[in-house]
Chain A
């Protein structure tokens, strides 16, 4: 079993839809959870950063972490064509541990 599992999609939604992206993980030592967005031919850019369990909201984006289920989510409200990209979840434990990434979900928002 891979440490981080993420449905690769592709996921296609109409403009204005609510998008739900998810990752599951197996390592209970993970404490830091991140979502990155990667446009074609670009490096990943950090969207959301959460420590431990709970919710975090930033504009149209909401990140949720459920450590009891080892499940994290990213919700995008009022999705726009400019949200079309690959979304990567990433996580790590405390201390000097490297990030472990999911393989990414490709999202297309159709106008």
Chain B
């Protein structure tokens, strides 16, 4: 079974631009979560989508948004990029039911550098 895939793997943008990152979960997984990883803050939760609906949201500004498609693929968008948005963006998928915790499987991440 193929793992979680993320595209692109590397990205360089300048301040003020916007960016869209893509994530394809493991086949059959319906939950997709996004995380930002930086050396200073570690892994921080951005949001989770389940069956095309945002189910959880972390403490990030509205410039960070996401969506999930009917095939469970997900995209996240960051508008008006700031230098501090430089990070590794990780996507994780799980077959997550309503009231249970399922283990999450991570993709390789997209490394974003904002200049």
Seen from chain A, the residues whose Cβ lies within 8 Å of a Cβ on chain B are 31-32, 34, 36, 41-46, 49, 88, 90, 92, 94-104
Contacts and interface: CB of A to CB of B under 8 A. Distances in A.
A61 to B, nearest CB: 15
Contact of A100 (B4, B45, B92, B109): B45
Contacts of A34: 103
A43 B90 contact: yes
B115 to A, nearest CB: 20
Interface of B: 4, 33, 35, 41-45, 48, 50, 55-56, 58, 90, 92, 96, 98-101, 103-109
Contacts of A98: 33, 45, 48, 56, 58
Nearest to B101: A32
Given A32-B101, A43-B109, A96-B98, A103 B42 contact: yes
Contacts, number: 58
Contact of A46 (B35, B96, B100, B105): B105
Contacts of B103: 34, 46, 49
Most buried by A among B41, B44, B99, B101: B101
Given A94-B99, A101-B43, A46 B4 contact: no
B38 to A, nearest CB: 10
